[in-house]
């Protein structure tokens, strides 16, 4: 499974840790940067990862900024994206089961690397629940039209 990952300066360090973790788990990781912790604008990296997911280049995306909030807001502007800002593991599971989220955004400043690894692992390993959730997600996507 291919995962596209990106960050800003506030998320750079945890992006590197998450990338190493995902590669060790056997995921194909597309690293959309940045390559250093120099100051950048998070929407630029949200767009790169969101385009990977929207085009099918990657099945899922992971984005890290200070809070994860700006990344989610930006990524959700791209058609086909359902990005969720997650700070606890059980919500990562529910965002996949109920919302078929395809990008998880996490906080590099307020959530520990260990917790974010648990969040990303839960997100990537939980299938969409289908059934009653399918029609609701279809209605979300119809809002793009």
Residue 14, phi then psi, degrees to nearest 5:
-70, -30
Segment contacting ligand RB5 by CB under 6 A, of 60-68, 96-104, 114-122, 136-144: 60-68
Bridging pattern class, strands 2-7 and 60-65: parallel
- With binding defined as CB under 6 A, does residue 66 bind ligand RB5? yes
Residues in CB range of 121: below 8 A, 6 or more apart: 25
Q: How far is the CB of 41 from ligand RB5 (least distance, A)?
A: 9
Q: Which of 4, 14, 67, 102 binds ligand RB5 (CB under 6 A)?
A: 67
Q: Which of 3, 5, 6, 10 binds ligand RB5 (CB under 6 A)?
A: 10
Cα 86 to the chain's mean position, in Å?
9
Residue 98 among the catalytic residues: yes
- With binding defined as CB under 6 A, does residue 8 bind ligand RB5? yes
Q: Which of 7, 99, 79 is nearest to 49 (CA)?
A: 7
DSSP-H helix ranges across 4-77: 12-24, 42-55, 69-75
Residue 133 among the catalytic residues: no
Q: Which of 79, 122, 129, 84 is nearest to 102 (CA)?
A: 84
Q: Which of 1, 23, 55, 69 binds ligand RB5 (CB under 6 A)?
A: 69
Residues in binding contact with ligand RB5, number by CB under 6 A: 8
- With binding defined as CB under 6 A, does residue 102 bind ligand RB5? no
**Active centre residues (catalytic):** 65, 98
Which stretches of the chain bind ligand RB5, using CB under 6 A?
A: 8, 10, 42, 65-67, 69-70
């Amino acid at each position: 499974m291919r995962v596209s990952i990106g960050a800003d300066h506030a998320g750079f360090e945890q992006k590197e840790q998450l990338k190493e973790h995902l590669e060790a788990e056997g995921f194909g990781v597309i690293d959309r940067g940045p390559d250093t912790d120099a100051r950048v604008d998070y929407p630029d990296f949200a767009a790169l990862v969101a385009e990977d997911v929207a085009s099918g280049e990657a099945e899922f995306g992971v984005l890290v900024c200070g809070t994860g909030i700006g990344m989610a807001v930006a990524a959700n502007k791209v058609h086909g994206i359902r990005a969720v800002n997650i700070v606890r593991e059980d919500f990562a599971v529910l965002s996949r089961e109920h919302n078929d989220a395809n990008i998880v955004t996490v906080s590099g400043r307020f959530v520990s690397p260990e917790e974010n690894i648990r969040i990303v692992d839960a997100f990537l390993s939980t299938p969409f629940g289908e059934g009653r959730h399918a029609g609701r997600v279809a209605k979300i996507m119809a809002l793009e039209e």
